Structure formats: C-alpha cells, structure tokens
Structure 1
Amino acid sequence: MKPVVWGILGTSKIGREQVIPAMLSSPLVELRAIASRSLPAAQAAARSAGIAQAYGSYEALIADPFIEAIYNPLPNHLHVPLTLQAAAAGKHVLCEKPFALSASEAQGARDAAARVHIEEAFMVRHHPQWLRARELVRAGRIGEPRAVQVFFSYFNDDAANIRNQTAMGGGALYDIGCYAVLAGRYLFEAEPLRAVSLVDRDPVLGTDRLTSALLDFGAGRQLSFTVSTQCVPFQRVQVVGTLGRIELLVPFNAERGGQMRLALDVGGRLDGSSVTLETLPPADQYRLEVEAFSRRVREGRPPGGAGVGDAVAQAQVIDALWRSERSGAWAAVA
C-alpha cells in the first residue's frame, strides 16, 4: 500500500527512542516532520533521526498539508486538546496513553472520531505475547479466568519530570496504572463494574507514588494491581484460572525486535515443575502499532476496540479509582 505520511508532536523520549525508530523501519510509514515548541529542539531531533522537516510549533506541523496522520506523545494534559486540533485539520491521530485525564474529556473527542481515525496508543495490544495470552484464555487452557494480577513500577522522584507534576497529569495511576487497567479489560474481554483504590501520595510532589486497586468484573473475575513511580523497576502480569496460570515476564517494556517468553502452568505444582515456557516470535510492538493504524487509515477501516469508545472506557475506570481514593469506599465504574 502507499505509505501513510506521518508527523510527530514533541520530542519526547518515547518518541525518540521507540516510535521514531519503529516508523523509520516500516515500509507503510513515511515520517515527514517533527515539531517542538522550540525550533532548535525540533531541528536537533530531525537531524538525529533523518526526518526531513522540523517545525517550531505544533500548529505549524498540524497545518502541513502533506501530513495525513499525527503521533501525539505530548504531556498527558495536552493529549485531548492537541488531538482535537489535529482532527479539526483533517489529520488522523494516534495519541499516547492515557488518552484523557477524565472520561468527560475523552467523550469530547467522539465527534472528531466520526471524521478521522483517533486511537489511544497502547502498543502492548499488538505484541505477540499479549495476543498469545488472550488466545490461551479464549481456548480454555487455564479453565475459567478468575484473577489478573499486575505489578508495574519504576523509580523517578525528579520534581522537574512531567511524570511528577500533577498539573500535567503525572503520577503512577495515569502513567502506568492505565496499563494495568487495560490488562484486565483485555484479558477478561469485559468491563469492570466497581473499583476500590489505596493511594499513597508523595508529600512534596503531590502525585500518587504508590497506588493499588481491586476491580470487580463480575462473574467471579477480579483484577488487582499495584503501580509505583518510586519503587525498584519491576513488571509482571499473571492470569490465573481454575485450571492453570499464564505469566507475562516482561509485559510492558518488551525489547524492540526481541523475543519474549510466556509461562504457562497447567499443573499447579508449587515447585514450578509444571511450568512450560513458550518463546514468541521477535517483534517490535511499536512498529506493529503504527502499521496497524496506517492500514486502517489507508483502507478506511474502523478502529475496532481501539477507538475513542475504548479510551472513554479506560478513563471511566480511572475516574472511579480517583473517586474511591476520596471516599475510601468502592466506586461504581460508569
């Protein structure tokens, strides 16, 4: 197919280190431009990656008539505003997670999504290990799925970092808790009914540095997770059923182009002797993500489960967890 012409808003680390290399490796993508509020910063990023055009404002890139699709990895509070600006200019938008800071903000993009493709950029949905885990659950290999458990953490207490600034949507729940919420929704293929959270906030930064939650999906299904911005780096996903268990060893930050292993335990022996390891094909989840988006743009196909409706559902769960923090009680997800 004819490559889709892309532009990138901002010079974020995830863009520079993950998404730009993925785009440049794909025959389905023509990466035309990158923008920053600082023209020298945009020019430096463009030179480093071999991108033809650099813009000193987001608006200038959005106005470029040759650009068809935009990747938006800006700080969280700018996700919806700049996505709507791009959509108003007729650009399709792949927007980093979390798409919005509230469900009502996400709802505001529904009208725009009727005219262009808008999706929340959860690259994990495209990785073979996640596809295989859901395939095993669907096939009944672990019996009835009962529990999904997620732990995801890193250490960053830099006050200047956007992940530690409340006004920009910083904190553990927005930054990485959204992955945990997605894990439950993706693997149960259902929406939670209610949620309860326990939040510890940094006394100086004000962001949630340690957040745990329990989500009730009904029919005896539960998601539990802990996420932290001030713990040793670690991540795991466990899917436990009536007959077996699946473990994703590096579920979120899978190496670009690397081979991941998935653990399947259908014997339940406590010494681990019933665990088998399945090696999955090498994959770049970021390339798979931008290629899937590019195909939908070029072929005019709907986004399926990855569109604005899904982003609204994600935000509704996070809204409920914030309400639970304030009330100290269960909160309905709606």
Structure 2
Amino acid sequence: MSTLTPPIRWGILGVAKIALKQVIPAMQQGKLTTVTAIASRDLHRAEAAAEDLGIPKAYGSYEELLADPEVDAVYNPLPNHLHVPWTLKALQAGKHVLCEKPIALDVSEAKALMTAAATYPGMRVMEAFMYRFHPQWIRARTLVREGAIGEVHAIHAHFSYYNDDPGNIRNQAEIGGGGLMDIGCYCISWPRFILDAEPVKVTGLVELDPVLGVDRVTSGLLDFSGVQATFTCSTQMAPYQRVLVHGTTGRLEVLIPANAPAGEATRILIQTAGAPARELLVEAANQYTLQGDAFSRAILEGKEVPTPLGDAVSNMEVIDAVVRGAKEGRWVNL
C-alpha cells in the first residue's frame, strides 16, 4: 500500500488544449484526484490557465513543478517527442506519470522507457488511452466476448479530422506528427483491446503530405490469426470516427469510440440474425475522470496500473510495423 492518502495531488506539464479543456476539468471532478499545480515554459500562460481553472499553483518551468513536494503525480500531454524525456524526469523526481499517447516516438524509445521505469520501484506510469475506461467500451468488449455477434472475423476502424495548419504540432514530422501517431494509434489499440490479443503480422499504406511531410492518410491491415482488423486514419479528411466489429451471427458498432461526450449517454448498435439493428444506450460518463481515478487508485493501493507499459510497447510495435510495411510494400511479422 502507498503511504499517500486520497486524493492524489496532480501537476500538469504544459498547457495543451486537451489538458485545459478535457483532462483538468475531469480530474477536478474525480473522487481520488485533485489538480494542485500547472506548469508552462511561459509563466503567464501557466498563471492564466491556473486562474481560469482554479488551480492553486502555477510554475514557469516544468522543473519547478517536478520539485514541488505537494505534487504526487503528473499528467504529461506534451508534444510526442517530449513524452519519454519528461516522463523520465518526473520519475526521477519521485512523481507517478500518466502520459498521453503515443507513449514514444518509436518502439525502441518505448522499450527504453519501460526498462527505465522498472528501476523506480513503486512508481506508476501509464499511457493515457482514456477510451478503455468508458462504460461503452466495457459493454462492447463484454458483448463480443460473450458471443453476442458470434465468432469475430473482422474489425474495421475509421478516425479522421481536417487540419492542414503547418504550425500545428500534429503536422510537424520531426516531433512525431502525422495521422498514424495522433489518431491511428487508437485504431490499432481498439482491436487489440476488443480481442485481448496481438497481431501476428501487419502491413500498411501511407500517403504523405507533399509539403508538410507527415502522413495525412494511413491505412493498415492487421492479422490476428483468424481475425482481420483494418483501419484508415486521416488528418485531412472530413471528421468521422467509428468502430465496426463483424461476427458470424451479427455486427456491433461503437459510434463515438474516442471522443465520447462526457454529459451524454453513448450508443452501441448491434444487429443479429438478420433482424433490424437495435440501439443500446450506455450511461453518460467522463472517461477522463474514470481514467484519473483508476490511475490514482493503483497508486493508493500499490497495485499495477490498469494498462501497463507493456501494452504501450506492443501498440508502438504495431505502429512501427505499419510504417515499415508501407515503406517496403510487404507484410511485417511481429
């Protein structure tokens, strides 16, 4: 058991939009979480965010926040190339870390983080795939595993939005930008979560933006030894997201797989035996609040986090293999 008492006191590294608009307000509603500090390399931005969100402390550097003894854990939503460096710095400072996806720039960096994290006994690190905590995904996975649509043979995921702004970090190749890293990582994680399995081989097709140099449309094919999973992700396509699971006796659709609205019930469509599709309503929930509480509970109880770093490494292995398969025009074995 941890010597800490609830709630876990959180510090936020940076003033990323996802932190300000989603994660911080959600954690402020948590049973086991409270946000006590926020840092930015620009003190004025940190102070403005702290004032807007009612956060007690604002720091003009990440180092100052990590030195605060009243911060137990940090949320790292920094650009992709800063995920591993600042997660390691946080661990060195004695802070638990919830790090945004993707956990690293490639699988070698992810493995290095997992190895380093193991040298800090009692410290917790988790990749922030918040969808795993939403009841719609718990329900969908349970339905599939209980055979509601028969034996699963295929899964397809689509995730897209439109953003061609060269100044946006998601469009900067040198710091881990591009559709596959930003949203394709979900499309890979979803079938792995549903099936609780890893693909044996994968391949991909990538279209690069001729000016920005990042992938703007990427598709992948994942072979799960009897189940075929396909996906398309794009940063220059009309906004849309959906996951479809096809079985021998029916199909299931998760309508808003990633950005489930916190204040509204979500819907799963299921169709079996040729009958009309029926809609299953799932209670409203804030997946960021649930994620924060689950991570904090692992700290307080001294237990493993719900999604260990090994899962993050496995997801990065598939991401890397999709890229390699696209470049070399072949299947890549895992």
Compute the TM-score of the two structures, normalised by the length of structure 1. Answer: 0.96
- Tell me whether 1:178 sits opposite 2:180 in the alignment: no
**In the alignment, residue 159 of structure 1 is paired with which amino acid?**
P
| Equivalent in the alignment of 1:281 | 283
Q: What amino acid sits opposite 2:302 in the alignment? A: G
Identity, in percent, stands at 53
Residue 204 of structure 2, aligned match among 185, 197, 208: 197
RMSD of the alignment, in Å?
A: 1.0
- Tell whether 2:260 aligns with 1:254: yes
After TM superposition, the structure 1 = structure 2 runs for residues 44-59 of structure 1, keeping only pairs within 5 Å, are: 44-59=48-63
CA distance in 1, matches of 2:294, 2:6: 14
Paired amino acid for 1:33: A
Residue 302 of structure 2: aligned partner: 300
**Corresponding residue for 1:209?**
216
Distance 1:108 1:56 in 2: 29
Q: Is the 8 A contact 2:265 2:283 kept in 1?
A: yes
Equivalent residue in structure 2 for 1:9, among 13, 37, 54: 13
In the TM superposition, what whole-angstrom CA distance separates every residue of 1:43-65 from its partner, at most 9, and x where no partner exists? 11111101010111111111111
| Counterpart secondary structure, 1:263 | strand
Is 1:147 the equivalent of 2:154? Answer: yes
Could you say what secondary structure the match of 2:213 adopts? Answer: coil
CA distance in structure 1 between the partners assigned to 2:75 and 2:7 by the alignment? 15
Q: TM-score, normalised by structure 2?
A: 0.96
Q: CA deviation at 1:101?
A: 1.1
Q: Aligned equivalents of 1:112 and 1:84: distance in 2?
A: 8
On the 8 A contact 2:204/2:218 being kept in 1, the answer is: yes
Per the alignment, residue 236 of structure 1 pairs with 242
* Residue of structure 2 equivalent to 1:111: 115
Aligned length: 327
Q: How far apart are the structure 2 equivalents of 1:309 and 1:66?
A: 29
Match of 2:99?
Answer: 95
Secondary structure at 1:26 match in 2: coil
Contact residue 87 and residue 112 of structure 1 kept, 8 A: no
CA distance in 2, matches of 1:111, 1:87: 12
- SS of the residue corresponding to residue 108 of structure 1 reads helix
2:227 matches 1:221 = yes
CA offsets per residue over residues 209-252 of structure 1, 9 Å max, x none?
0001100011x101100000000100100011111111011111
Q: Which runs of 5+ in 1 are unaligned?
A: none
Distance 1:258 1:110 in 2: 36
Q: Deviations over 1:123-172 (max 9, x none)?
A: 00001111101000111111111111001000000000000000110000
**1:332 equivalent in structure 2:** 333
Q: Is 1:42 paired with 2:49?
A: no
Letter of the 2:286 counterpart: D
